[in-house]
Structure 1
């Protein structure tokens, strides 16, 4: 049954995403407000498929504040990358440049406001990330980052990527860490399983800490559900 539900999810979600991408590009002609409404509708569409078709529920402990903050998510699955758009109010999301370069989806993401990171570019990529992050602050938007840099298997707690500390220092924002256990029922591959994804919003960490301190505190907070 889980396999059948997963196949139906993919058959509905991806064609639907194409339609939302087209709608976003049309909305971009009328300004950022319509674009954000379409993207939010897309995230809600995905949420409905996840909850009603795949049988996955979300339980959240704590609350993510509005306004300019740096939200650091544990990265175990694709599901939290979309849910982020509902959990955080109009975020600017830091993601791999390869996703931003995808046809149709890439221009859609750019119109909403994402920060693509090309790891091969080194220092120039970090400067671009910081510049776009400061622009987000000027617009009163939070910035979302997955500080591990890539999807992490359940139970693994790798060190944070250097770009996180650089962005934290450059933006001067408090950090809201988010732990979750979505990888247990949303593994790589086709089949997704019904169940509950827990999200734990950690205590807000102030701006201005030294690198080793901020990395230690964020690492511990985003891995709070790994024990």
Structure 2
């Protein structure tokens, strides 16, 4: 399964199944390979919720995966963007060249060694010449509405967030891995044919 690693902290996304025109996801924030969310308080009261993996965030999207187009847009355009699942309410937002809390820093540089200044200026020149660099940081925030939790009968607009700060090259690898898995998923679940059957006409292959 496609996994974005930051040391012992990781994010794993799996396309679980395609049913009645919906792509279902299991999403795991993990620490040392273990789910961070307590499975005992996640919603499992019916078949829809019970299918989720242990400690997984449950989400679904109509017809096709929308996480991949999001990642591709951000990697290609180097601009902030986000995806909110059709159901339930989770949001994955990415911010190239920006850092949480998205405000000017309150600290100031008292001293910067000459060699550090030289390295920073050289890096700035290289970015101007070539564009985004492989080791650029990209801010990524995953928001999970409490509707994913047992006893929540409606969307709250509140919930828990997980913050990741991958390098561009790490996000690219995550995208490549997830894309390869989704191509296989579409073949296994016959997604293209079922979508065409539903629409009653041939469809272009999705952009992802």
Q: Structure 2 length as normaliser, TM-score?
A: 0.23
More relative contact order in 1 or in 2 (CA 8 Å, sep 6+)?
Answer: 1
Q: Which has the larger radius of gyration?
A: 2
Looking at secondary structure, tell me which structure has more helix per residue. Answer: 1
Taking structure 1 as the reference length, the TM-score comes to 0.22
Q: Which structure dedicates a bigger proportion of its chain to strand?
A: 2
